[in-house]
Amino acid sequence: MMKTRAFFAAVAAGLLAWSPAALRAAEPVKTVADLKHIEKEVADVASKVMPATVALVSEQTGSSGSGVITSADGLILTAAHVVQGVDDMLVVFPNGRQINGRVLGANYSKDIAMVKIDGKGPWPFVERGNSKTLMAGDWLVAMGHSAGFDPNRTPPVRFGRVVSKGPGNFFTSDCTLIGGDSGGPIFDLQGRIVGINSSIGESRRNNNHAGVDGFREDWDRLMAGDNWGELSMNPFANPEAPVLGIGMGRDSSKGLGVPVEKVTPRSPAAAAGVRVGDLLVGIDSGKVGSGRDLQLALAKKQPGDKIRLALMRDQTKLDLEVTLVKRDALYDPRSLRGIGIDPELFEKKEVPLLSAEENEAIASQYADLCAVGESVAARVSASTVQVYAGKNQVAYGTVVGNGTQVLTKWSEIARKGAAIQVLDSKGTTHSAKITGVHEDEDIAVLSIDGPVLTPVKWSDRGSPALGSFVVASRRDAKLGGLGVVAVLSRSLRESDQAFLGVNGDMTYSGPGVKVGSVEEKTGAETAGIKEGDVILKIGDRAISGLMELRNSLLGKNPGDKVAMKISRGGKTIDVEVLLGNRPRLPQFTNLRLRQMEQMGGAISRVRDMFPAVVQSDLQLKPQQCGGPVVDLDGNVIGISIAQADRTRSFFIPADEVVAMLKKPTVDSAVARVGNPPAELPNQMARRGDDQAPRMQRAPDRESIGRARRNVRDMERLIERLHEEMDAVEPAR
């Protein structure tokens, strides 16, 4: 997902004004039954569109994004910035199959592009819907290969709604997105694509999409391979950048100024009296003959600077003083005092720039959803506690066993050097001590004094289905969070990601899984599996489809052997396959991911390398991890363990917790904090077999601080370079 650069039609001198459409009645949620109905629709959409949601990887640049197939002959819709500067893309299906694709046309102003698969279909595809008919409040399902293609998971599912209709072809949703989701699809509840993921804002609620109707309008040019439109900055790219809050029209043909086409409500420009139709002719002592002049002038300013705008209005020259604010201030009510704007006009948890009526309707819809979720969460509030280290609330906890034990997040209480206490649903405080640690799961076991509490009853239904709703509880019977299962249970350990080495035939509809291709130098190739074979069983497990094949390998490790029953030429054959390590495709750089991980709120210190977790799109704070997660029937299906970034929240499924509790614990005095990353195969290959890893001296505090400052300085430098390039480079 593009942060430092997005493609909008207006000059990026200031944030465009949004013009949300009037609300219509979205599918209502008044009861748990209503939410279960939507849950079924979300699950149906996820399974229906999953095979057509592909990753797009440039082997030339190493960049990656997402796309969606919309025709049987392999036409892919994606975002223009995903294909920028390349002619060919590697198309990667969710099952790992790879095939070449060629880039067709792109309209950068709308951030839309097409890619065509080089290969004979038919390919799985989705139906195209309409984006112009979308209204604020409509429910949506977003997908994409977040952070790049990951062979150990399907593209994550996100649930949300239209928050507002944006400038031109764009609309905004609260389906959380991140890098790698760019170009991925967003669907209505009928499974029709209504937009393409385009860019993200600082808030988790600001996720921007290019409407699918933009493709219809430009279809012939895109198919013909045309490339056009203006490359400009993302309004959310740098939250510290100074802005006016105006959108500029075409430059005057005589170089005598630039017309103001948009004025953002409640922006500095609006507060100063700038109007649509004004002609901007100067800034301070300099002339403005083009939008680029304005960009270059603002690039030299800082938030808080006062500038003089020279405007022409109805043949009258105006001189207005404007105080610049940082871009993020337009979305942060706390930063708006002093320029004639009342922060109380902003609804705290909603995206601003909606009318009062729309804000009220959106807030009402959100309140209804929360009320239903709260009724579910309340069922386990008696088994949920808050965990304190001294005076600081650091985590939630889940009551287990006979009611005198609590499971909580180990890394949040480790080495705190303060007394541990828990606060229960009745407001009673209990003294607690750590009796053991499950290091791999980042779980501490607490023994509590005082009244016996109500332990959870673990669900025996197995892991929840993809797209099903999950609810996080609180001790006060309020809603901790509500989301959907984004990815089924999997290991986050590199060393645990077993690889069979076959790609399924996406066109096959018979029993089992037909092998479309076999990867070279894999266990499948060594075992003699061939293209056209049909996999019927793995072990004693019948294979009904690609998802069943994927699930059958969960829990397997590289080096494990699996017995397989396959059909070849009408005969049934038994083979044994030695599983290997999964190959790695280009991923986002650590710097870029780290920038985006922090967008939208705090994240957990320990957030990866878990042996088995379910991924959801719950939005939790780090100190809310450790509590129960339930389904819509109130069954406890796991323990929340980490908020990994703006899109990923992990919980340990109930069956894994039950298995964990049967294992011995480690004494807290010696237990490690966090799971050390597994050494990647290519790193190990660089050493001789007899060469031991080098031990390095642990860095001191001064070295760590210096390194962190260097990283921050480098991030700021890169951000500034991107802005300067956007300001001075000619549009492509």
> pLDDT of 611-656, one tens digit each?
999 999 999 999 999 999 999 999 999 999 999 999 999 999 999 9
pLDDT band at 241 (very low <50, low <70, confident <90, very high): confident
Residue 709 in this model has a pLDDT that exceeds 60: no
Chain region(s) in the chain for CATH 2.30.42.10: 242-345, 498-581
- Out of 2.40.10.120, 3.40.50.150, 1.20.1250.20, 2.40.50.140, the CATH code matching 32-228 is 2.40.10.120
For residues 705-716, give the mean pLDDT: 57
DSSP state of 629: E
Distance, in Å, from the CA atom of 612 to the CA atom of 491, rounded to the nearest integer, reads 4
What's the one-letter identity of residue 290?
S
CATH architecture entry for 242-345: Roll (2.30)
Which is more confidently placed, 56 or 503?
56
The reported pLDDT for the residue numbered 351 is 36
Arch. (CATH architecture) of 379-490+587-661:
Beta Barrel (2.40)
Q: Does residue 296 carry a pLDDT above 60?
A: yes
**Contact 673/414 with Cβ under 8 angstroms?**
yes
Percent of all residues in the chain with a pLDDT value above 70, rounded to a whole number = 77
Q: Where in the chain is the domain with CATH 2.40.10.120?
A: 32-228, 379-490+587-661
Q: What is the DSSP letter of 622?
A: G
Classify residue 316 as exposed, middle or buried by CB count within 10 Å of its CB (0-12, 13-18, 19+): exposed
Calculate mean pLDDT across residues 565-581: 92
Between strands 64-69 and 286-287, the pairing is: unpaired
The residues facing 73 across adjacent strands are none
CB half-sphere exposure, 553, CA atoms < 13 A = 27
Give residue 33's Cα distance to chain centre.
28
Residues 269-280 have pLDDT tens digits of 988 999 998 999
CATH number, span 498-581? 2.30.42.10
Residue 519: pLDDT band (50, 70, 90) is confident
Is the separation of the CB atoms in 102 and 86 below 8 Å?
no
Question: Following CA atoms 546, 548, 554, 560 in sequence, which dihedral angle do they give, to the nearest 10 degrees?
Answer: -80
Residues 439/333, Cβ–Cβ less than 8 Å: no
Confidence class for position 266, pLDDT limits 50, 70, 90: confident
pTM: 0.68
Q: What pLDDT, on the 0 to 100 scale, is given for residue 329?
A: 63
Q: Backbone dihedral region of 225: left (phi > 0), alpha (psi from -120 to 50 degrees) or beta?
A: left
Which stretch of DSSP H or E encloses residue 637? strand 636-643
For a pLDDT cut of 90, what percent of the chain falls above it? 54
pLDDT tops 50 at residue 324:
yes
Is 80 exceeded by the pLDDT of residue 110? yes
pLDDT tens string 247-260: 777 665 466 788 88
Q: Is the pLDDT of residue 506 over 70?
A: no
- 188 has a pLDDT exceeding 70: yes
Mean pLDDT computed over 128-135 = 94
Residue 130 has pLDDT above 80, yes or no: yes
